Structure 1
């Protein structure tokens, strides 16, 4: 099993293209599989009346609106072309989350992005879900990653039903809640979702308190829906991301930054470059540790058996024909001789040859 590690650059470039390129360099050097940004047109994403979240107020100017903040973090589409090309040069995958239809169309049709991420805030946006499903349906390699922060299990299932409808071949049937349920209820719809969709468990709070993580939700998704499942981590540090990998996460996504002290909404809950590298190294080590489930000694353990295990030995000199008893038989290192499990059987017999004190008994 190989965990897909997504280094979430997000908007931690602060609207600066040069900083975005630095983030790609950091993610590539850390060994992440993918670096992911966020693509949006601020005026299509939020109205002037939309408030900022509490965590956004902490990381930026509290008095500005969400729209004002987003305008400062928006990158031109031309910049994303250059970022995609930079990822290609560095051998790291490029992804970006679209937050509205125009940006989704740009990523799919102009940049050729095949692995799409639907953010948590769009999980109830059924028209947008259908647009994502239609985009991946056109590509054999197309995949969807759906983040599920703030959602109930019922809302997650509703989103999957919309995706099932969108992933099935076009039939001319208009979208509706009833059509979604029918698509989700049929074998073809379920199979399409299982083939194309990965659910990311997520807690939309930056940083997420450890007691709000609920990592076993990943397994609940697998059991309830039969899909691949992973974790989008907003906690501080790398412990929870590593725990997610140990629980078999198909995807681990984690925000990172050049400097946690930079102004901006997401920096405080992000990893710095050395921490990102430590997370990647840790996840790859966990993958190796999870490769085998059969309990057998390793090659190294086989070599160490003689050193660490014990054998039946002569506690004192024993003459040929002398009866073995509790006084002349002991258990001691090295291994490789008669197993101590044979101790009681040995006590029923006599020595077939002389033994020196400390000599392995071989009968």
Structure 2
């Protein structure tokens, strides 16, 4: 069975879904907020918190030419450089955040956006790497991360089948033996109808890797549904306050929403179970309320049992209704009182 292991936690279809709280830019430039997000993610039940490691200079160019302008969406009116300068996580925070996460007992790792970010994260002992959707086409970056030998998760938003295959081949050829891909729609937020979750089953078959979901919808329905289709990882943006005014706050989960995500996703996984037509433990006490055959008339010993003397009713202490034809026409061994459960011991 396909699996990867991050910081001792095995991730596979036969294990509960791995829940990643994506901090992204939701610290809003305040390290105390960043540390509180980590603590609240742990409290909510997430397996990991993920950050992003870049600066405006490692991600784009400081230009206001048309190519670098954002003209629509949440960040309209800014240049790319202005957005990333606003949204980045300062590199001198990283050790503080990693140390805090370890004290809290929650796994922390990051999305690196260039090789210097990977070097920094290696120095901090990052247990895994996440390649963001927009970087899935950056095969040199994927190869550099793969050479660390760490598990890798690649988001596939905007990538077609060929590009996903190229990213997987780049990771594997550079030494990544533990690889997962996340089905993703790179809209912020994204409508549930865009997710086409049936793609998950095709991804598992086509690419033979652990699969999951990077979910940008505003509720948890899509995420829970994805578990039923084989998602082993669920990633969602997480903030302390959806109205906080930061770059990603408006489409992120708040703490109570993250609690719900963790619970509903794991309940969905538990409900899958195995192929099993047998009676379940919670049903045992209710078997007596099924229908069965009862005598609805008193019958004398030796008397033939007529059709109007027997009915299919609740409870279920008599023989099953399927035996009605085998009962009618036979004779009573002894006197039978009305409302007696039908038993073959009572008839010849």
Higher helix share: 1
Gaps of 5+ in 1: 137-141, 168-191
> Per the alignment, in what secondary structure is the counterpart of residue 67 of structure 1?
helix
Among 103, 114, 131, the residue aligned to 1:118 = 131
Distance in 1 of aligned mates of 2:283 and 2:172: 49
* 2:299 corresponds to 1:318: yes
Distance in 2 of aligned mates of 1:342 and 1:144: 60
Q: Determine if contact 2:225/2:268 at 8 Å carries over to the other structure.
A: no
Q: Determine if contact 1:41/1:103 at 8 Å carries over to the other structure.
A: no
> Per the alignment, in what secondary structure is the counterpart of residue 312 of structure 1?
strand
Distance in 1 of aligned mates of 2:271 and 2:331: 47
Gaps of 5+ in 2: 1-14
- TM-score, normalized by length of structure 2? 0.90
Q: Determine if contact 2:71/2:77 at 8 Å carries over to the other structure.
A: no
Distance in 1 of aligned mates of 2:140 and 2:183: 22
Residue matched to 2:57 = 43
Residue matched to 1:100 = 114
Alignment of 1:171-210 (within 5 A): 195-210=177-192
Alignment of 1:34-113 (within 5 A): 34-49=48-63, 50-52=68-70, 54-57=72-75, 62-108=76-122, 110-113=123-126
Q: How many equivalent pairs are there?
A: 326
1:321-348 deviation line (CA, Å, top 9, x unaligned): 1111211111122212211111111114
Q: Determine if contact 1:55/1:265 at 8 Å carries over to the other structure.
A: no
> Per the alignment, in what secondary structure is the counterpart of residue 208 of structure 1?
coil
Residue matched to 1:228 = 210
Distance in 2 of aligned mates of 1:160 and 1:270: 28
Distance in 2 of aligned mates of 1:200 and 1:241: 12
Task: Give, in angstroms, the shift of residue 126 of structure 1.
Answer: 1.4
* 2:37 corresponds to 1:23: yes
Distance in 1 of aligned mates of 2:73 and 2:201: 28
Distance in 2 of aligned mates of 1:54 and 1:242: 30
1:232-260 deviation line (CA, Å, top 9, x unaligned): 00011111111112222110000111111
Residue matched to 2:251 = 269
Residue matched to 2:163 = 155
Residue matched to 2:339 = 358
Q: Determine if contact 1:309/1:334 at 8 Å carries over to the other structure.
A: yes
Residue matched to 1:247 = 229
Q: CA RMSD in A?
A: 1.4
1:130-178 deviation line (CA, Å, top 9, x unaligned): 1011112xxxxx21100000111111111112122212xxxxxxxxxxx
- TM-score, normalized by length of structure 1? 0.86
